[in-house]
Structure 1
Amino acid sequence: MPSLARLRTPALVVALVGLHAVARAPMACCLGRAVPAARADHLRVVSWNLRNFPGDHDQDRMRERLDALDPQVLALQEVLQPAALEALRPGWRWHASVHGGSHGPQRLVLGWDPAAVEVEDVREHASLSMGGRVRPALSGYVRARHGGPDFHLVVVHLKATRAGHEVRRQQWPQLAAVVAERRADGPAGEDDVLVLGDFNAAGGPQITADEERAALATALAPAGLQPWDIVHGCTAYWEGRRRDSFWEPSRIDLVFGGDLHEVSRREAWPGAHCVRHACGPIEATEHHPEPDLHHMSDHCPIVVDLPAVDDDP
């Protein structure tokens, strides 16, 4: 007859496994609870750096993530083959930048559901490309169908890495000029603007990431732009300085708004692995991958909801 100790051992193992599963469950279930469900009385814009899409991405997984988020407008970065986006949102309209810097090219793309919105006057802004070395900006005028917000939308992908900090500083006033241009050339009295994308605000040799974000906000303030809060505090992951199996969170994708008076809470929500891991470190390797991180993008989709009202006279 087995001893009492032997009988207890399997039970203890089962109990510990159960506790581990319970402890991990909140991380696995948080996407639906952390990102607010899409609402009929809001217009949803999602910014997402797709890490050289389509590459070897799990497009079925990406489509599931987008289905869950249910955006009406997409502002995308690092798209190598814009035609491949059709598989993610069939029936949508797309406009890609012609240029994308010296790597790829990594194009910027605006996509939209034509049943929900119109996007007019799409422009590519070469002034941010610094002579073609980096990406331009892409902008358009978004008009909600059936009533709702009308606004200028600008998507950016600024120079990467800490070593690129000085180039980014040169791009900031160019971005402010783009916002001024959109407002000057747009419909009379339409100053509402949303600026988002990968700002690569990683700091520099003599400046921290927090200091860079503060300097960026100061540089864009004269254009009437205010930074929005990033819920949970991260938007992407990188391999970290140790280059071991732990990926570290960062906040390099940002959102700025101007004259969007209908918005009472200026906040943006990261999805996917940023929420699932609560913006904490992720232990993952190619042999033991984090599915969203390894099979979609190191960046998380960033969700912005605008009330379906128009504050313009």
Structure 2
Amino acid sequence: MRLHAGAKRVIAALGLVTVLASGACQRPRGAPASSSLDVVTLNLWHDKQDWPHRQDLIVAELEALSPEVIVLQEVLQHAALPNQAEVLASRLGYQYRFFSADAPDQARRYGNAILVRGAIEQSREIRLAPLDDYRNAGWVRARIDGRSLNVYATHLHYKPNGAAIRAQQVTGLLALIDETRGDVPSIIGGDFNTRSDAPELASLRERFVEAYGQAHEGRDANTPMHSTLNMHLGHPPIRIDHIFAQRGAFRVADARLILNRADATGAWPSDHYGVRVRLVRASD
């Protein structure tokens, strides 16, 4: 069929609209593929220094990264301070669960949290022994991009000579995992207060890969340049914040430190740096 010039111009214009529309639907360059899972862990340093300002710094970077999962430690609430995880979840548009050894009716509560860019279907928390250490572990079963995922959060005993206590707490964490994991892949984030290769984490490493170390395989990931403790705020250079991924369920694609720069005023987001890892499901 012969087309006159006007019809050809209309068809060409429609073709241009189609190209532009298809481009608008494409994932932005540099964004993770749909099969990947970005996970962040961060110790918030509760409400130390200027929390409202630090909160803005944290939100800005997490908004830019847009991870599917965020695990937080040292989350605080009290009469004059709304729950920090709840506020961050609200600002970022995530669902969250807060876990605390403090009684639910207390005004002041301190603990850990899990935020997900998806739907939380189930959750649970346990106290970790010894009970006077006020440590806990939390679990959520989340639905993210149509797939189920178990996420666990914890913050272990802090004293350098507390390896035996941390080992006991890892035993409690693994018991929670065994009771809740089902046939769904699992990840763990937290402040372990020790290096990832510490003997007290051996039972954890048998079943889970420490993602940051795996991403830097062949290099020493425990040198000062990899520290998650903020040396600018007087901490020793140790990497103690970790993300563990279930062996056989994920491949580690990338891992790096985040929230590790001061702003123009000299303010730091926290006294810890965050860790962001990119995982790919082994089935993809």
TM norm structure 2: 0.69
Q: Which amino acid aligns with 1:150?
A: S
State whether structure 2 residue 61 is matched by structure 1 residue 65.
Answer: yes
State whether structure 2 residue 221 is matched by structure 1 residue 236.
Answer: no
Instruction: Report SS of the residue matched to 2:131.
Output: coil
Contact 1:100 1:108 in 2 (8 A): no
1:109 to 106, 113, 121: 113
2:208 corresponds in structure 1 to: 225
Contact 1:267 1:304 in 2 (8 A): yes
Instruction: Quote the offset at 1:93 in angstroms.
Output: 1.9
2:237 corresponds in structure 1 to: 249
1:126-275 aligned within 5 A: 126=127, 128-145=128-145, 147=146, 149-183=147-181, 186=182, 189-190=183-184, 192-201=185-194, 209=195, 213-222=197-206, 224-230=207-213, 231=216, 233=222, 234-237=226-229, 248-261=236-249, 263-265=250-252, 268-273=255-260
Instruction: Quote the offset at 1:199 in angstroms.
Output: 0.3
Instruction: Quote the offset at 1:86 in angstroms.
Output: 4.6
1:93 to 81, 92, 95: 95
In structure 2, distance between residues paired with 1:157 and 1:292:
30
1:279 corresponds in structure 2 to: none
In structure 1, distance between residues paired with 2:30 and 2:135:
32
- Deviation digits for residues 221-246 of structure 1 (CA, Å, limit 9, x no counterpart): 45x22322345642422559xxxx86
TM norm structure 1: 0.64
Structure 1: any 5+ residue segments left out of the alignment? 1-35, 202-208, 277-288
Contact 1:229 1:266 in 2 (8 A): no
State whether structure 2 residue 280 is matched by structure 1 residue 300.
Answer: no
- Deviation digits for residues 103-151 of structure 1 (CA, Å, limit 9, x no counterpart): x7431111123xxx2222111111x152142220011112223x4x432
2:283 corresponds in structure 1 to: 311
1:24 corresponds in structure 2 to: none
In structure 2, distance between residues paired with 1:55 and 1:118:
33
Structure 2: any 5+ residue segments left out of the alignment? 1-28
Contact 1:100 1:135 in 2 (8 A): no
Contact 2:85 2:98 in 1 (8 A): no
Q: What's the C-alpha RMSD, in Å, of the aligned pairs?
A: 3.2
In structure 2, distance between residues paired with 1:109 and 1:246:
26
Instruction: Report SS of the residue matched to 1:172.
Output: helix
In structure 2, distance between residues paired with 1:91 and 1:131:
34
2:42 corresponds in structure 1 to: 48
Change (3 A) 1:259 1:150: farther
Instruction: Quote the offset at 1:251 in angstroms.
Output: 0.6
Percentage identity across paired residues of the two chains: 27
Q: Which amino acid aligns with 1:269?
A: R
Q: Which amino acid aligns with 1:160?
A: Y
Q: How many residue pairs get matched?
A: 234
Instruction: Report SS of the residue matched to 2:283.
Output: coil
Contact 1:156 1:196 in 2 (8 A): yes
In structure 2, distance between residues paired with 1:246 and 1:53:
18
Instruction: Quote the offset at 1:266 in angstroms.
Output: 6.1
1:123 corresponds in structure 2 to: 124
